[in-house]
Amino acid sequence: MQIADQTGQTITLPTLAKKIISTVPSQTELLFDLGLDEKVIGITKFCIHPNEWFKTKTRIGGTKTLNIELIRQLNPDIIFANKEENTEEQIKILCKEFPVYISDIKNLDEAIKMIGDIGRITGKENEAAAIVTKIKLGFDKLKPGRKIKTAYLIWQKPYMSAGNDTFINDMMSRCGFKNVLASKLRYPETTIDKLNESGCELLLLSSEPFPFKEQHIDEIRTAGLKGEIKLVDGEMFSWYGSRLLKAPEYFQQLIGSL
């Protein structure tokens, strides 16, 4: 089998993958939902879903601190990685020794393509197609709210937000939120003053990678933010695997609460 990953790299597999390593939490959850329990031999310490895998599967380091030697010992048939979540240097090393499918996902269409590719690589094409059908149906039913000038923070000290070439931005758009930092790329730094200057009406505080809590809402209000502030589930906005099955319902509830 030959298949091109989302960076344009062609990978060759002599047979269906039987020994799989995932270096991406959202793709690990997808592998579970595809029914690949016996074939997944390694995951990262951040692959918290499903809980039973988190407790029992071999952990091969963090997403950006992979244990290359342990991966060599496990000798996988395929490694699933991501351009953004993993470090380029480590993935280049692995690509010289193993087939590595690298995803690069900035929107829903690219996420759907990745799900289909992983289904093909693992012999779970029908299961992947069923997941894709349900995801599309869920997003087709999603009714965006009014256009609200919105920012989405992923980090504190400094505050960092999602720019326009991110998966988070695509999810925000599908909810009807107008990203006030859409003129910026990737994850730009910002300040409360800059958010006020942008006319930000709604500030979303993500649960990951920085775990914003109620205390941070109080801090930001004290700092003078004029708009509304809400804590949101970062997995719903940034996990691009089978978590997308649950995202539309969550988004609809969020829209309804505004």
Domain boundaries, given as residue ranges, for the chain: 2-138, 148-256
Predicted pLDDT of residue 182: 93
Structure tokens that stand for 101 in this block: 């499918």
Axis crossing angle, helix 247-256 with helix 125-141, rounded to the nearest 10: 10
The radius of gyration computed from the CA coordinates of the chain, to the nearest angstrom, equals 19
> What is the CA 82 to chain-centroid distance, rounded?
9
pLDDT tops 90 at residue 247: yes
**Shared fold status for 2-138 and 148-256:** yes
For the whole model, what pTM was predicted?
A: 0.95
- Concatenating the DSSP letter of every residue in 195-215 gives HHHTT--EEEEESSSS---HH
pLDDT tops 90 at residue 145: no
CATH class name, domain 148-256:
alpha beta
For residue range 217-239, list pLDDT tens digits in order: 999 999 999 999 999 999 999 99
CATH of span 2-138: 3.40.50.1980
Structure tokens that stand for 97 in this block: 């020794």
